[in-house]
Amino acid sequence: RQALYAELRDVEPFTRCGTRIEVMINAGLRDDISALPLVGADGIGLFRTEFQFLVSATLPQRERQFRLYRDVLDAAGDRPVIFRTVDIGGDKALPYLRESEFENDENPAMGWRALRLALEREGLLKVQARALLEAAAGRALYVMFPMVSEPWEFDAAKAVFDNQLAHLRRKKKLLPESIRYGAMLEVPALAEVLDQLLPRIAFLSVGTNDLTQFLFAADRANPKLAERYDWLSPAILRFLRRVSLATAGSGVALGVCGEMGGRRLEALALLGLGFRRLSITPVSVGPIKELVRQVDLRELEKAMQGWLSAPPPDMRAAITAWASERGIDTD
The residues that touch ligand PEP, with contacts defined as CB under 6 A, are: 46, 48, 87, 186, 207-210, 257-258
Q: Which does 208 bind (CB under 5 to 8 A by kind): ligand PEP, Mg ion, none?
A: ligand PEP
**Which range touches Mg ion (CB under 5 A), out of 73-81, 121-129, 181-189, 223-231?**
181-189
One of 134, 153, 210, 290 touching Mg ion (CB under 5 A): 210
Q: In the chain, which residue ranges form alpha helices assigned H by DSSP? A: 2-8, 35-39, 50-54, 62-76, 114-120, 122-135, 151-170, 188-191, 194-197, 208-215, 234-247, 264-272, 285-292, 297-309, 315-325
Rounded Cα–Cα distance for residues 26 and 35 (Å): 10
Residue 182 in contact with Mg ion, rule: CB under 5 A: no
Q: With respect to ligand PEP, which residue has the nearer C-beta, 205 or 247? A: 205
> What are 134-137's contacts with CB under 8 Å, separation 24+?
134/66, 134/168, 134/173, 135/66, 135/69, 135/70, 135/73, 136/69, 136/73, 136/176, 136/179, 137/173, 137/174, 137/175, 137/176
Closest separation between CB of residue 207 and Mg ion, Å? Answer: 4
Rounded Cα–Cα distance for residues 236 and 258 (Å): 13
Indicate the residue whose CB is closest to ligand PEP.
207
Closest separation between CB of residue 186 and Mg ion, Å? Answer: 5
Rounded Cα–Cα distance for residues 126 and 118 (Å): 9
Closest separation between CB of residue 188 and Mg ion, Å? Answer: 13
Q: Which does 153 bind (CB under 5 to 8 A by kind): ligand PEP, Mg ion, none?
A: none
Residue 50 in contact with Mg ion, rule: CB under 5 A: no
Residue 207 in contact with Mg ion, rule: CB under 5 A: yes
Closest separation between CB of residue 212 and ligand PEP, Å? Answer: 8
Closest separation between CB of residue 173 and ligand PEP, Å? Answer: 31
**Footprint on this chain of Mg ion (rule: CB under 5 A):** 186, 207, 210
